[in-house]
Structure 1
């Protein structure tokens, strides 16, 4: 049912004073409560609500009909505060009205107060108060979350009573995904009570319009079309994505527009995966997703396994995961971003993009000549693929270059495949050590890596030369409280004298953060960690020996002078 029709029916319901029960059903988070509240406020502002008293009641945590009756009474507002949450003032007003309407019950209350306890007074007050619930509008939410002591049939019975005997209009908001067992019987009962049942099911455009409202922004311009592609209609999920997108763009303020757009594209997809695991692809799938490899699975003549997410992501502007995407996905999973690492990766991707003009030809060849045309000849496609891959090698992920190399080889272009490997390694010559470790790239379990590409990566890994200054690396580790394999490999080559010089060059927070980080690396069990542990402890021992106060400072880091001496002697330093 379209949002326009739903809104018209709700506004009709509000404007009519005749007793009626309206049921609005739909999935969790699609905007049932939001839309009802918004339209009620709008109608109230336009003086288009027939009844002048209103109560919003959630059944979450209510365990009896007495609880429900009292909740309706205590949450009733009227007049200018009709759409506002109940307050102590509105509750006091309702008590006064109940007292006026039920003055004959005063003796009952006084007798109860004298014989029983305070709870007896409350129960009596609830009964008297409920006498005043009539000719009013009531919204009952969260029926599926009612306590175990509150049966659905009892709630529906009370709703029917309020409609027939108290001339009330009741709207019932239902999350029909959470009804559980006995759905058929449940709906039979609802249909007996409800005069009208609306199925609240929005399309992506309607959902995003509700979530974003009338506010326009650069973030909305980028994010909203992505939500439409993924067909996300859950407004609560959209709101959370929107909030995360704002935080992400704040972190990336000052970065290139294309990099921010890439980050938002990865975030929308991965945050959806975290928030809606029943409908979205898992984050592990996103990490290993390779649009071009997916296309190749059908080209070898074998029947590819069914991939229910492939068609969805084929239309989404995300073809594989690079270093920036990886940090974004990790942030979506954790609920927060590693801001230092995120800005580092963003700057790195930006610098990489600037090496290649345009940077879109490789993707265009795949999208237009492979996916988007049946008329393109094999020769034209393969030639264009090779040319664009060589031209934009600095921008292409290992997953995508592997797919291209395998395709060239499969169709007899072996020489081109080998030349592409050579061009790719050259274009990536200034990458970090981790880049040339294929374990760091998210190849799917069924995707093989071209043998020659694997060999080229291993050779580059084995011959890698790290020309960074060790002190700069140590300061970077201290600042971001994290390290890479390349950082560990470089620090493992440092002598005790090198560490002594570096430790004494640290200033301020760098001192504790740097020494603590080196200690953590030394105890991590990683390759090279033991060498770092020995050299760093000896360096601290040497510094401690220079003066009593320095020895006391070193003791703060959990390294005593005696322990350091024993360690250095046993290790033969």
Structure 2
């Protein structure tokens, strides 16, 4: 059987003779890219940078540092984060000052006046200064011994950090310390001027480009097998995967939220009929994507092609206008794609002979300004999200997803 993209990357990076395990990758910058939400960070943390792999590095007197650029506002802040992680990994993660001071305090309490004239604050201060003196030396030694530094969340970096300066810092890390650097980012992370800068600097800085592009099944399997609580869902695994595949959504965060809600649903002893679970999953995904909730239109009967058509529960001026002016809401004819759906909806505006050109322009502009409403309508009706689920259960699911509380 042909190996999946994820299996190939895992073997290449950390297999028996993995690239990151060999000196050939010292001083190199590796870029792991993929689509937004495809689970790159999850893959890196749970499949590549495992506790076992980090222990291997530690046993070799090397180190590992994971740096999220989210919230960082300067290169100095990033540098301090790296050095602190590597230093504290070298001493087992304990705060030496606090640990030593608490030990002396314990003896002071036990033996009373024996230490009564000792100035513990000066001892703590001295130990802290000694730590500071050793910090850089310990970190540098580990950095130079094949350390791995992973940078993530490029799309969330502060505007205060210049992209040229950031890549200059990364390049200097590899040159000065001969360490391995891994950059995790989305395919389309940068826009405008930064996109041009990124295109230039990546060619000069990056030695290895790796593409993370899992299938829906592959990403789902990785997440489903990552958490012991998901074992409660083992007997329902097939319908969960099948429903997610219906949506064509490739997004790790969505899968995790859906699985967590399914666990809560089952823990509260709710019905687990396949149609109900399917409905819960689709209502949940629709809410994550579009923040809308549907209910059945009581005016329509069960003979409808979509088994009781749904309309948006969301009550606002834009929604009311949509219901009043677009026949697509109440006579949904399944198009092959969302683009086809929008094209047909716009076309209906021109076919309505009862309105003038100005009204047509207003309706077309409304469509373009409120695509999220139409996307939600398309999603819910194309997939018939409440198929074979009674009104009471459908409402319970809606309430659970919208409020976060299962009553």
Q: TM-score under structure 1 normalisation?
A: 0.44
1:496-534 CA-to-partner distances (Å, cap 9, x unmatched) read xxxxxxxxxxxxxxxxxxxxxxxxxxxxxxxxxxxxxxx
Which structure 2 segments of 5+ residues have no match? 100-128, 298-303, 310-327, 335-342, 347-373
Give the superposition deviation at 1:73. 0.8
Q: 2:222 aligns with which of 210, 216, 229?
A: 210
Q: Secondary structure at the match of 2:71?
A: coil
Name the structure 1 match of 2:190: 179
Q: Mark the CA change 1:233 to 1:41 in structure 2 (over 3 Å): closer, same or farther.
A: same
Name the structure 2 match of 1:305: 345
> Does 2:64 correspond to 1:54?
yes
Q: Mark the CA change 1:5 to 1:312 in structure 2 (over 3 Å): closer, same or farther.
A: farther
Q: Mark the CA change 1:283 to 1:323 in structure 2 (over 3 Å): closer, same or farther.
A: farther
Q: 2:49 aligns with which of 25, 29, 40?
A: 40
Give the number of aligned pairs.
298
Q: Mark the CA change 1:325 to 1:186 in structure 2 (over 3 Å): closer, same or farther.
A: same
Name the structure 1 match of 2:200: 188
Q: Mark the CA change 1:145 to 1:126 in structure 2 (over 3 Å): closer, same or farther.
A: farther
The answer on whether the counterparts of 1:70 and 1:129 sit within 8 Å (CA) in structure 2 is no
> Does 2:396 correspond to 1:327?
yes
1:26-69 CA-to-partner distances (Å, cap 9, x unmatched) read 34432212222232327628959988321112222222222122
Give me the whole-angstrom Cα distance separating, in 2, the residues matched to 1:333 and 1:177: 31
1:432-474 CA-to-partner distances (Å, cap 9, x unmatched) read xxxxxxxxxxxxxxxxxxxxxxxxxxxxxxxxxxxxxxxxxxx
Q: Mark the CA change 1:229 to 1:46 in structure 2 (over 3 Å): closer, same or farther.
A: farther
Q: Pairwise mapping of residues 392-541 of structure 1 onto structure 2 (< 5 A)?
A: none
Give me the whole-angstrom Cα distance separating, in 1, the residues matched to 2:305 and 2:195: 41
Q: Pairwise mapping of residues 97-496 of structure 1 onto structure 2 (< 5 A)?
A: 131-132=140-141, 133-135=143-145, 136-181=147-192, 182-213=194-225, 215=231, 217-253=234-270, 255=271, 257-258=272-273, 261-277=274-290, 283-284=292-293, 291=306, 305=345, 310=378, 314=382, 318-319=386-387, 322-337=391-406, 339=407
Q: Which has the larger radius of gyration?
A: 1
Give the superposition deviation at 1:76. 1.3
Name the structure 2 match of 1:24: 32
Which structure 1 segments of 5+ residues have no match? 93-119, 340-573
Name the structure 1 match of 2:316: none
Q: Secondary structure at the match of 2:32?
A: strand
The answer on whether the counterparts of 1:25 and 1:200 sit within 8 Å (CA) in structure 2 is yes
1:304-338 CA-to-partner distances (Å, cap 9, x unmatched) read 5387675886566743773321331232122222x
RCO comparison, higher one (Cα < 8 Å, 6+): 2
Give me the whole-angstrom Cα distance separating, in 1, the residues matched to 2:282 and 2:98: 46
My pick for the range that moved more, 176-185 or 136-145, is: 176-185
Give me the whole-angstrom Cα distance separating, in 1, the residues matched to 2:97 and 2:236: 41
The answer on whether the counterparts of 1:69 and 1:130 sit within 8 Å (CA) in structure 2 is no
Q: Mark the CA change 1:87 to 1:121 in structure 2 (over 3 Å): closer, same or farther.
A: closer
Give the superposition deviation at 1:263. 2.8
Q: Mark the CA change 1:65 to 1:270 in structure 2 (over 3 Å): closer, same or farther.
A: same
Give me the whole-angstrom Cα distance separating, in 2, the residues matched to 1:62 and 1:27: 23
The answer on whether the counterparts of 2:223 and 2:252 sit within 8 Å (CA) in structure 1 is yes
Q: Mark the CA change 1:48 to 1:86 in structure 2 (over 3 Å): closer, same or farther.
A: closer
The CA RMSD over aligned residues, in Å, is: 4.2
Q: Mark the CA change 1:180 to 1:51 in structure 2 (over 3 Å): closer, same or farther.
A: farther
